[in-house]
């Protein structure tokens, strides 16, 4: 469901049991530390915000989403702004130590505009973290070869609009004067033709680019 260039995102774009793995990987990539300010773009029901509040001792946490479906008990502990991401980011002129786009860019009409706006919210010395479906996985490659479609972007998955390529993300972040880090991966993907079985952990660890649901991209803003 699109509106004003963005959508409501539950941060569950890749689905199933992989979601906690993706959230955990995003926080590791963020190099979480106590006393930071956080901005979660596409915060959904606030699952990642809850993790930050519960374990990271943040100075402040802000979420942005198109629809207000934040878990009710989180309301007093954080600030959530409802509206299209491009508009909210332009009007509020956020500055945060950590900016998250977790399973968000693939859902929006203007992913590159939102990515640029998010990068401009990162404080000097801060970090941006993006996670998005890993379209270079073995599962995607096989389905594209056989069926002509990407697994995460099948015609019946109307919520996923745009495949996000890591090299394009890095190019845009470089243009926004950020320093991209080496990509990591998260979430054990399904083994093709097994009826839904996931890759075994040892195989996943050894061949993460081919067996992961999502790719995790981070970039740093040089300290002033």
DSSP 108-154: SS-HHHHHHHHHTTEEEEEEEEEEEE-TTSHHHHHHHHHHSS-GGG-
Confidence at 102, pLDDT banded by 50, 70, 90: very high
Residue 4, pLDDT above cutoff 80: no
Rounded Cα gap, residues 140 and 175, in angstroms: 29
Report whether 186 contacts 137 (CB < 8 A): no
Token match 């399904």: residue? 190
Give the span between the Cα atoms of 24 and 114, in whole angstroms.
Answer: 23
DSSP-derived letter for residue 164 is -
Is the confidence at residue 219, as pLDDT, over 90? yes
Write down the pTM of the prediction: 0.89
Architecture per CATH, domain 2-221, reads as: 3-Layer(aba) Sandwich (3.40)
**Per-residue pLDDT at 224:** 73
**Predicted confidence band at 67 (pLDDT cuts at 50, 70, 90)?**
confident
Q: What integer best gives the mean pLDDT of the chain? A: 89
**Are β-strands 212-221 and 178-180 bridged in parallel, bridged antiparallel, or unpaired?**
antiparallel
Q: Which DSSP symbol is given to 106?
A: G
* pLDDT value of residue 123: 97
């Amino acid at each position: 469901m699109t509106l004003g260039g963005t959508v409501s995102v539950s941060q569950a774009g890749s689905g199933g049991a992989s979601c906690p793995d993706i959230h955990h990987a995003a926080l590791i990539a963020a190099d979480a530390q106590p006393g930071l300010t956080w901005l979660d773009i596409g915060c959904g029901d606030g699952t990642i915000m809850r993790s930050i509040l519960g374990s990271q001792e943040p100075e402040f946490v802000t979420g942005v989403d198109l629809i207000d479906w934040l878990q009710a008990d989180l309301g007093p502990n954080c600030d959530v702004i409802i509206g299209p991401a491009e508009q909210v980011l332009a009007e509020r002129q956020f500055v945060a130590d950590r900016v998250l786009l977790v399973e968000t860019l693939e859902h929006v009409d203007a992913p590159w505009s939102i990515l640029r706006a998010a990068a401009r919210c990162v404080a000097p010395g801060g970090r941006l973290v993006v996670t998005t479906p890993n379209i270079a996985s073995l599962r995607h490659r096989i389905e594209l070869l056989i069926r002509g479609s990407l697994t995460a972007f099948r015609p019946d998955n109307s919520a996923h609009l745009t495949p996000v390529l890591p090299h394009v993300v890095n190019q845009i972040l470089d243009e926004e004067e950020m320093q991209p880090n080496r990509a990591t991966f998260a979430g054990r993907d399904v083994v093709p033709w097994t009826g839904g079985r996931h890759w075994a952990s040892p195989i996943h660890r050894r061949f993460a680019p081919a067996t992961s649901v999502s790719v995790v991209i981070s970039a740093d803003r040089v300290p002033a």
